[in-house]
Amino acid sequence: MMSFASIFRRSKMMDLREVMKSRRKTLSITQNDLAEMAGVSLATVKDIERGKANPSMSTVLEILDVLGMEITYSVRQTVK
User: What's the whole-model pTM score?
Assistant: 0.72
Instruction: Summarize pLDDT for 35-60 with one digit per residue, the tens.
Output: 999 999 999 999 999 988 888 888 98
What tens digit of pLDDT does each residue of 6-38 get? 555 554 445 778 888 999 999 999 999 999 999
Cα dist from 29 to 10, 11, 13, 74, whole Å: 23, 22, 24, 30
d(CA 70, CA 80): 33
Dihedral class, residue 26 (left if φ above 0, else alpha if ψ from -120 to 50, else beta): alpha
**Hey, what CATH topology would domain 13-66 get?**
434 Repressor (Amino-terminal Domain) (1.10.260)
